[in-house]
Every structure is written in C-alpha cells, then in structure tokens.
Structure 1
C-alpha cells in the first residue's frame, strides 16, 4: 500500500511558461519576500503568501503538492534549503527575483540554466578595493556552504526517518481515505525532491566557486588563493554527505533536470593551487 515515489507527471508534457500577467504577479510577490538570518526566509505575511502561491502553482503543473501542514522539521528543512536554492552571488535584482520564484515553486526548477561563470562575473563586478577582498569574499561564501551542509543533512535525515514512519503506518490506519494517502505520498515526494534539489545545487555552487578561483588566480594571483583552495576542498569533502539521502535518478523524477541532461554531480577537481 506504500505509495510510489514517482510523482506521476506526464512525461510528454510541454514546458510550463507563465504569461505576462503571471510574471508580473510573481515578480510582485517575490519582490516582497524577505530574507532572515543565516540566509533563511524571514517569517512574514508576504513570505507565507509566496509559499502558498508556489504550492498552488506546483499543483497546476501536476507536481506533488501536499495539503498537509508542515512538521517542525519539514519547515526547518525548507528554511535551511533557502541558502542553497538562491544564487551564491546575486547578479542583479531580476535574477534574484527569478531565483526566489523558483525556490518557492512559482516557477519550475528545470527552466534554470547553470553557468559556472555567473559567480565569477558577479565577484569581479562588485566594487572591491583590492583583489584580497575578492579572495576573502570567495573564501567566506565557500566556508559558509561547507558549514551549513552537515546541518542540512542531519535535518534531512530526520525528515526521511519521519517519512518512512509515515509510509509504514499507512496500512494500519483504517480511517484514511484515498485523499489522505495521496497527500501523504505527495509530502514524501516533496521532501525527497527538496533534498535532491539542494544536493544538485551544492554541486553547481562548488563548480562556480572552482571556476571563480581558477580565473581569479590568473587575473589577480596572490597567496590568498591557498586558503581559498583549502576551504573549497573542505566543501568538496562535505558535499557527499547528501548522497545517501537522495534516491537514484531523483533529478529526473523530480523534474530538476531533463533526462538527456542528467549527469553525475560535479566531483572535486584537482587543486589548482600549487606552492607559492
């Protein structure tokens, strides 16, 4: 009786595209969304509206969107995912708006294109007084990701354990109807897809950091690159913590990547820093 993880989305469905009116509404909602501490969403009426509207939009795309209330851990999981689903370095206000629309599920995640040069372009475009400041910013961003991954993984493991209990209990609760079972299955799918999405984004962020370090080393070589390399190695060492939490081919089944584009998560590249 345990529901299948498959979301049941039609494989031949054309890509979803919002109309001009929809984009205007989405931009209004997302522009009012506020960020709290540690890169998490700030509790507010606007953020709640964005989250609710995103659930409705996902449901319209036939994606899993449960009507069940979030548990404390499920809510915390979504708060902790905020940092990894937003750009590592916002390029402009419009890009940040689109990212927030995607994070809140108003837009499907599959539309996004990952360019490892984006972070580097933003890093070099900001008004820093010296290359040392750019190295410091790069090291701080990488280090924050590395510190937050174990916290997210521990929370994700608790959510997965609760989901397993939820599925095991379904056959023994005789008063459930088909709607209850369906929404229980969708909540499990939502949780698994969120974890898979964060795993995917951590790999893409690491690739962007690697690109930035390699190019910064050529553009403005300095001894600070050694510390950045060490911090990046720490991030690459912690990303595999998420691997056991993600089902096989989750990126396809969750609509995060087209099947033709599914590749292994970026692996740690050889260090670019030798000895100075």
Structure 2
C-alpha cells in the first residue's frame, strides 16, 4: 500500500510540475495583494510538496494547522513576494519553495533586482522612483507589526503544544513526532520571513544608494528616513524579538541605524531640487 501511494505521488508530482512548467507558477494574487484561492496552489502543490519534502528528509507534520498558524502564513506570504514589481522577488521560486516542491532557494537571491526593476521602469520623472521606493518601504513598515504579532502567537502555540505533550497521557503514538515536526516547520517559516525582511531591506538600501548616484534628488532624504525606521524591525527580527520591544527613532527601544548621509563626512551634501 505504501509503495503504491509513493508511486502515485511520484506520478502526481510529475503531472503537477509539467502543468506548472506550461503555465504560471507564481501564486495568484487577489484583492489588496492577498493570495487568491487556487486548487493547484492550495491543495495539489502542497500535497506533492510534502511528499517531496519527506524524500529530502525534511520534517513534515500530519497536524492540522491552527488558526494562528494560518494567520501567520498568510501575513508572512506578503513579505515573500512582490507582485507589484514584476518578479524582482523571484515569485516563481518562492511559490515552489512555499509549497515545498523545492528546498530553500531564497538563500541565493541577489539584491540588485529591485533596483534593476526601478531603473528599467519608464517613469516620466526620475523623482517618481524615489517616491516608489518610499511607498514600498512604508507599506512594509505598516504591515510588519501585525506579522510580528502573528508570529508571536504561533510561538505561543508551539509552547502550549510542548506543555500539553509533557502533561498528558494516552496520546496518539505519533503525537510527539508531529509536535516536533510542526515546531520545525514553524521555525522554518519564521526564519524564511526574517530572511525575506532582510532581503527587502537590503534591496531597498541598494536601490537608494544607486539612485543617489544616478539621479540625486531631495526625495532621497524621505526614503533614507523610511529605511532607518525599517531597520529597527529588521534588528528585532534578526534577534527573534517578535513578542516584545518597541521601535523608536530616538531614546529607548530598538536601535536604528544612522542616516546614510552621515557617511559623507564633513562635506556638505546639497541635493538638486
């Protein structure tokens, strides 16, 4: 029976991959940038992906997802893709990784893609590129707190599972392995979010640096300030501080990087207007 199921899943994987190769792999996007329902992306690909993850000896839990875990995945997904910017975030590779059809590929993402997209987009005004970067950073900053809260809720769910496992008897024989596997899956999702947040920040920073050389404008000051605000969240994410802390621009709380304009030294920088 197990051999038959394995053969069926292997055949299904070839069918799914062939279908994806013939069409768009990226997850469909609905209103307000949210993922749109899709049998292929929500059911078929994850089923085959779990099978392939097991072949790679990765942890795969048989537990149903809690509401908190579903919320976290939905909020994290927004940071894994950038549908507004023509795949500068490797949307196709992200979807294959999200559904576990492939192992992690985001470790090799290059930070110059966002700047390349900005540079090649035919804006009527060069100032608009700064406004675009600023609006993207602001959208990230506005969404990070709710994503942190969702991650914190999942961390608490994992803690409660571990407590229940220790305290209760008469459990399913696979309960302990499923608890461990789900913890590893959640940890992997959280780590991916942290890498994605760093990638976005580094990509924005790379773009701003290059725009300052290519088309210097006073709008760069606002973008730089937005990046400084974002850096506080990046710092918190890198140290795993999702459940507490406060991001401030001065005083106590999480430190935020100084302005890049301070790096110019004592020379006065006069940006064209």
Question: TM-score, structure 2 length as denominator?
Answer: 0.77
Name stretches of at least 5 consecutive residues in structure 1 with no aligned partner. 1-18, 248-266
1:62 aligns with 2:57: yes
Q: Given that residues 79 and 196 in structure 2 are in contact (C-alpha distance below 8 angstroms), is that contact kept between their aligned partners in structure 1? A: yes
Q: Residue 75 of structure 1: SS of its match in structure 2?
A: helix
For the residues of structure 1 that align with 2:59 and 2:233, how far apart are their CA atoms? Answer: 29
Deviation at 1:133, TM superposition (A): 1.7
- Per the alignment, residue 24 of structure 1 pairs with 18
Deviations 1:12-60 (A, max 9, x none): xxxxxxx997753444586373123444322332331233333333222
- What is the number of equivalent residue pairs in this alignment? 239
Change (3 A) 1:89 1:165: same
Change (3 A) 1:151 1:27: farther
Change (3 A) 1:24 1:246: farther
Deviation at 1:160, TM superposition (A): 0.5
Alignment match of 2:74 (pick from 79, 82, 85): 79
1:137 aligns with 2:132: yes
- Per the alignment, residue 271 of structure 1 pairs with 260
For the residues of structure 1 that align with 2:89 and 2:148, how far apart are their CA atoms? Answer: 30
- Per the alignment, residue 44 of structure 1 pairs with 38
For the residues of structure 1 that align with 2:149 and 2:89, how far apart are their CA atoms? Answer: 33
- Per the alignment, residue 213 of structure 1 pairs with 208
Alignment of 1:1-276 (within 5 A): 23-27=17-21, 31=25, 33-49=27-43, 50-87=45-82, 90-92=85-87, 95-110=90-105, 112-245=107-240, 268=257, 270-272=259-261, 276=271
Change (3 A) 1:156 1:95: closer
Greater RCO (CA < 8 Å, at least 6 residues apart): 1
Q: Given that residues 225 and 259 in structure 2 are in contact (C-alpha distance below 8 angstroms), is that contact kept between their aligned partners in structure 1? A: no
Name stretches of at least 5 consecutive residues in structure 2 with no aligned partner. 1-12, 243-255, 263-268
RMSD: 2.9
For the residues of structure 2 that align with 1:180 and 1:212, how far apart are their CA atoms? Answer: 48
